Amino acid sequence: MNRLSPFNVVSLTFGFAFLYLPMLILVIFSFNSSKLVTVWAGFSTRWYGTLFQNEAFLDAAWVTLKVAVMSSTFATVLGTMAAYVLVRGGRFMGRTLFSGMIYAPLVMPEVITGLSLLLLFIGIGMDRGVMTIVLAHTTFSMCYVSVVVSSRLATFDRSLEEAALDLGASQFDAFRLVTLPIIAPAVISGWLLAFTLSLDDLVIASFATGPSATTLPMKIWSSVRLGVSPEINALSSILIGIVSVGVITASLMSKRHAVRVRREEQAAQRAT
Amino acid sequence: MAQTVFAPWDDPQQKPLIQFVGVTKRFGDFVAIDDLTQDIYEREFFALLGPSGCGKTTMMRMLAGFEAPTEGSILLSGQDIAGVPPNKRAVNMMFQSYALFPHLTVWDNIAFGLRRSDMPKDAIAARVEEMLKLTRLSKFGRRKPHQISGGQRQRVALARSLAKAPKLLLLDEPLGALDKKLRQDTQFELMDIQETTGTTFVIVTHDQEEAMTVASRVAVMDEGRIIQVATPEKIYEAPNSVYVADFIGDVNILEGTAKANGPESYAIDWGGAEPATATSARPFSDGQKAHLAIRPEKIAISAERPADAANAVQGKVLDIAYLGNLSTYHVELPTGQVIKAQSANTRRVSRRAYTWEDPVWLSWSATAGVLLES
Amino acid sequence: MRRAVLIAVPYLWLLALFLVPFAIVFKVSLSDTALAIPPYTPTLKDGFGALISGLDFENFVFLTQDDLYWKAYVSSLQIAFFSTIVTLLVGYPMAYAMARAPEEWRPTLMMLVILPFWTSFLIRVYAWVGILSTEGFLNQFLLWTGIIDTPLTILNTNWAVYIGIVYTYLPFMILPIYAALERLDESLIEAAEDLGCSRMQAFWLVTIPLSRNGIVAGCFLVFIPALGEFVIPSLLGGSGTLMIGKVLFEEFFANRDWPVASAVAVILLLILIIPIILFQRNEQRQQEAEQ
């Protein structure tokens, strides 16, 4: 391969333009001084200012952050366990059901997941609020974590664990000292994925929450239903900015790491 | 003082270090190891040799504790090790992939096993240094596995598995990942280290040359059974079956019926102009089917019929494989059978005596071949 | 013992928070609406016997009688189906071009596809509101170029819903196809051409069949969630846009008719079971092929 035909170039250009133009326009117009969001009236950061004075948004952001940190942490622990069971657990009763429950939430419409969890919380008489959102988010994002981690575990050289056992490590030590450090990048990306999923979620949180807790997406939702607003543009730009910086940094770091490893390997081969 | 030959398997006084007693291992319907009984002695360098899927790796994994026998028992120093998990066995393994922990330095890799015991810190450090020195890796202790070459990685794996001074070291295709030249050097290094440390080594390999070079005894395996266990010389010179003769090195097989023509001597009617003469300690009854296995290098090639040869056949040269130090001649007999004969290239090729289509005589002595039952 | 704990913890969690809730949804779908908290009857408080005898299929019968529901199902299937096809048509050439790009570009291209995936779904849908509205950027642009002289109405129609679905789910289509294409050994194409295929034939006879798993996975990853989509039809669609996710949400929050909402969910689930099972088969097959 390695040769791009004109058709390839065109499809890449249009494809990425399609993916990025809407977000780019959103970011640009968040600096628009006019309240009319589709008419450019000069550069201004006033909407960022009003955003940071909006108590309701800040409260919602705080709730969202709390929920995201808690649920992604639980989801990472549970999801890693589930991945380990899927890849290394061998046969046990109800394995098919288990793997079904891991994969199904990935494609389950959010309305159904949300509705079913709400009915559960009501059925057992649980007070709805931050805790119920955390439970709901943990449940669906642990499945994402487990998919990310299990794909790493599947390519993991099993003899590394056997070597640890052979050298006298207990099962737990072998996991703690060998497996976990090696799959750590996958576990971390699993955590980040769970975190962003929780940050983004509107539908499931709307079902799972009670009057006491409003998350940022719910707040955004109730205001965008009324149309485009410059404040939401500013908020969106901030979120897009954070994600872009994060993703770009991560990919640069992993690229640099790969280059260094390759160079060191080549040096080691030449030395002999 | 005459040096005693190392052959504990011939000494009934010796107690074996490892005993397989009627071991069978099944994976579902597949029989990986079939009712196998075998002793391995202390300080031995024991090679398990066979094609892939013959059960050699399963045998090794049972010794390490990663698989349990379905039937029978495995004894280590006389004690059944059935229930002992791998992390409690005085057995260490060097993995085919080396299984070096990529996130730890060479030093920490070697120290890994020692840290699992209650060894004091400075004793661990001393032992790691000793191991680094033994494997000539002292300069590389601070490096990570990806920062050293393949040969060095192999030595780290060896040092790591030897660090705990196991009673038994298992080596799973230890040289498989190295190129040929490095492999040969490393074979001698392995033998040296085995001798220095006095550890019992069990090596799994599919490379017969490697097994022959390093091992004190070779076990040739096929389909879950050990076909023959003997020293490399015996395996090569006196294979006990067509399978072993064919698996180790190159061989010509003449198939026919035996007829006694003297004490321990038989005439084999194989369809040639005259029957072949071969000696055999193993008795054959008249008319019994027999295979005469002759190594190519034991067959001489000449333009005239040699006067004193016990066996001689005429044929024409079909093909010549030039191997540098040796040439192998493929000679077609009037019966249509093709016999391989090997001769050393003591002269330059341009002055070679025979070429394609030349009529030649092949000859061999009565003791050159091995007579095998079918 | 440890292994049992390791299996039991995530297993029980999923049973309690994934499977049991579905059982409850099913139960509520068979109940009757009531002016109570919770707003349905019977509940466990009425005793087990009454609970069983109080259940019936009334809500399901109701769903078949009211046009709204089956129309919503059909229209959801239609929208999900066509937007999946459009996503495939947009995504495949992109994935193909990415796999053909020089090796040192690929991680960057990959990052560019993943980046939107990490960005808030809601915000990405919202971004289109400003573009597609009557006085939005698209109309401004088209008017400026002179292609049209009266603004198009796109927002609040099904067109906007299609655009929204294709836009938000495009990365889900590209990633599995790209993964399949990148693994493809180029010498296979060369072999096909060597054996007399034209470029085009080699593409249809070798590349497409070998990326089949990726295509199938991508299509399911778009189709299944699109079918139950709520945010996109609510934000970009109009009052005429009927999608079952939206109907369910409104039935539940606006009408507070929980039993009917549950019945809607049960039917949606039944529709989804076949594609979900097919999707899992595909994933399993792929995993087995890799091992």
Using a 10 angstrom Cβ sphere, with 0-12 exposed, 13-18 middle and 19 or more buried, the burial of residue C278 is: middle
Quick check: C167 and A247 CB within 8 A? Answer: no
Beta bridge partners of B225: B222
B interface test, pick of A167, A170, A180, A183 with most B CB neighbours within 10 Å: A167
> Of B146, B150, B161, which has the smallest distance from its Cβ to A264's Cβ?
B146
For residue B359, is it within any domain?
yes
- The arithmetic mean of pLDDT across residues C213-242, rounded, is 90
Q: How far is A146 from chain C (nearest CA, A)?
A: 10
Tell me the C-alpha distance between C93 and C114, whole Å. Answer: 17
Chain C, 187-246: which have a CB under 8 Å from a chain A CB?
220-221, 224-225, 227-231, 234-235, 245
What's the total number of domains in chain B?
2
Quick check: B103 and A264 CB within 8 A? Answer: no
Quick check: A269 and B150 CB within 8 A? Answer: yes
pLDDT of residue C51: 66
Which residue, B226, B245, B264, sits at the end of a domain? B245
Task: Classify residue C159 as left (phi > 0), alpha (psi -120 to 50) or beta.
Answer: alpha
Q: Do chains A and B touch, with touching meaning 3 or more CB–CB pairs less than 8 Å apart? A: yes
Highest mean pLDDT among A260-264, C78-82, C140-144, C286-290: C78-82
Tell me the C-alpha distance between B38 and B81, whole Å. Answer: 15
Q: How far is A248 from chain B (nearest CA, A)?
A: 25
**pLDDT band at residue A103 using 50, 70 and 90 as cut-offs:** confident
List chain B residues with CB under 8 Å of A181: 103
Task: Quickly tell me which residue has 């939107």 as its tokens.
Answer: C116
Q: Alpha helices of chain B — where are they, by DSSP H?
A: 56-64, 106-115, 121-134, 150-162, 180-197, 208-214, 232-237, 242-247
- The arithmetic mean of pLDDT across residues C232-244, rounded, is 89
- The arithmetic mean of pLDDT across residues C1-9, rounded, is 84
Nearest CA in chain C to A247: C115
Quick check: C6 and A84 CB within 8 A? Answer: yes
> Residue A212: is its pLDDT beyond 90?
no
> Of C28, C126, C171, which has the smallest distance from its Cβ to A236's Cβ?
C126
pLDDT of residue C49: 64
Query: What's the gap between Cα B362 and its chain centre?
Result: 30
Q: Does A247 touch chain B (CB under 8 A)?
A: no
Lookup: tokens for C196: 């007399």
Q: Does C265 touch chain A (CB under 8 A)?
A: yes
Percentage of residues in chain C with pLDDT exceeding 70? 92
Q: Does A261 touch chain B (CB under 8 A)?
A: yes
CATH architecture of A52-227: Orthogonal Bundle (1.10)
pLDDT digits (tens, 9 = 90+) for A84-94: 998 888 788 88
- Domain CATH code at residue B356: 2.40.50.100
Q: How far is B278 from chain A (nearest CA, A)?
A: 50
Quick check: C129 and A228 CB within 8 A? Answer: yes
Task: State the CB neighbour count (10 A cutoff) for residue B346.
Answer: 6
Quick check: A244 and C97 CB within 8 A? Answer: no
For residue B362, is it within any domain?
yes
Residues of the domain holding B57: 8-245
pLDDT of residue B1: 43
Average of per-residue pLDDT values in chain C:
86
Using a 10 angstrom Cβ sphere, with 0-12 exposed, 13-18 middle and 19 or more buried, the burial of residue A89 is: middle
List chain B residues with CB under 8 Å of A177: 101, 112
For residue B1, is it within any domain?
no
pLDDT of residue C96: 94
pLDDT digits (tens, 9 = 90+) for C31-70: 877 666 677 766 666 666 666 666 778 888 888 888 888 8
pLDDT of residue C35: 62
- For residue C38, cis peptide bond before it (omega within 30 degrees of 0): yes
For residue B265, is it within any domain?
yes
Residues B232 and B218 in one domain: yes
First to last CA, chain B: 44
Q: Does C258 touch chain A (CB under 8 A)?
A: yes
Chain B, 32-71: which have a CB under 8 Å from a chain A CB?
64-66
pLDDT of residue B115: 93
pLDDT digits (tens, 9 = 90+) for C165-179: 999 999 999 999 999
Tell me the C-alpha distance between B106 and B102, whole Å. Answer: 9
> Residue A110: is its pLDDT beyond 80?
yes
- The arithmetic mean of pLDDT across residues C199-207, rounded, is 88
CA distances from B225 to A112, B228, C106 (A): 58, 9, 51
For residue B281, is it within any domain?
yes
> Of B92, B96, B144, which has the smallest distance from its Cβ to A167's Cβ?
B92
Nearest CA in chain A to B118: A168
Nearest partner of B64 among C161, A164, C220, A86, judged by Cα: A164
Quick check: B99 and A160 CB within 8 A? Answer: yes
Quick check: B147 and A265 CB within 8 A? Answer: yes
Tell me the C-alpha distance between B304 and B300, whole Å. Answer: 11
Which residue, B245, B277, B312, sits at the end of a domain? B245
Question: Which subunits sit against A, judged by 3+ Cβ pairs under 8 A?
Answer: B, C
**pLDDT band at residue C249 using 50, 70 and 90 as cut-offs:** confident
Q: Do chains A and C touch, with touching meaning 3 or more CB–CB pairs less than 8 Å apart? A: yes
Tell me the C-alpha distance between B97 and A19, whole Å. Answer: 43
Quick check: A22 and C115 CB within 8 A? Answer: no
Tell me the C-alpha distance between C100 and B183, whole Å. Answer: 39
Which residue, B219, B245, B271, sits at the end of a domain? B245
For residue B3, is it within any domain?
no
List chain A residues with CB under 8 Å of B85: 165
Chain B, 299-358: which have a CB under 8 Å from a chain A CB?
none
pLDDT of residue A1: 46
- The arithmetic mean of pLDDT across residues C199-214, rounded, is 89
Residues B20 and B88 in one domain: yes
pLDDT of residue A44: 86
Q: How far is B171 from chain A (nearest CA, A)?
A: 12
Quick check: A15 and C9 CB within 8 A? Answer: no
pLDDT of residue B19: 94
Beta bridge partners of A32: A43
Domain borders along chain A are 52-227, 229-272
> Of B99, B147, B150, which has the smallest distance from its Cβ to A163's Cβ?
B99
List chain A residues with CB under 8 Å of C288: none
Nearest partner of A28 among A50, A47, A14, judged by Cα: A47
Residues B278 and B241 in one domain: no
pLDDT of residue C162: 96
pLDDT digits (tens, 9 = 90+) for B266-323: 999 988 888 889 998 888 888 899 999 999 999 999 888 888 888 999 999 999 888 8
Quick check: C14 and A79 CB within 8 A? Answer: no
Q: Supply the Cα-derived Rg of chain C in whole angstroms.
A: 24
Residues B360 and B234 in one domain: no
- For residue B283, cis peptide bond before it (omega within 30 degrees of 0): no
Q: Does B256 touch chain A (CB under 8 A)?
A: no
Domains of chain C in sequence order: 1-61 (no CATH), 66-290 (1.10.3720.10)
Q: Does A158 touch chain C (CB under 8 A)?
A: no
Quick check: C221 and A107 CB within 8 A? Answer: yes
Which residue stretches of chain B have pLDDT < 70?
Answer: 1-4, 349-352
Question: Which subunits sit against C, judged by 3+ Cβ pairs under 8 A?
Answer: A
Residues B326 and B232 in one domain: no
Nearest CA in chain C to A86: C7
- Domain CATH code at residue B127: 3.40.50.300
Nearest CA in chain A to B65: A166
A to C CB pairs, distance under 8 Å: 251
> Of A166, A177, A182, which has the smallest distance from its Cβ to B86's Cβ?
A166
For residue B80, is it within any domain?
yes
Tell me the C-alpha distance between B218 and B178, whole Å. Answer: 22
Residues B255 and B199 in one domain: no
Residues B348 and B222 in one domain: no
For residue B230, is it within any domain?
yes
List chain A residues with CB under 8 Å of B99: 157, 159-160, 162-163
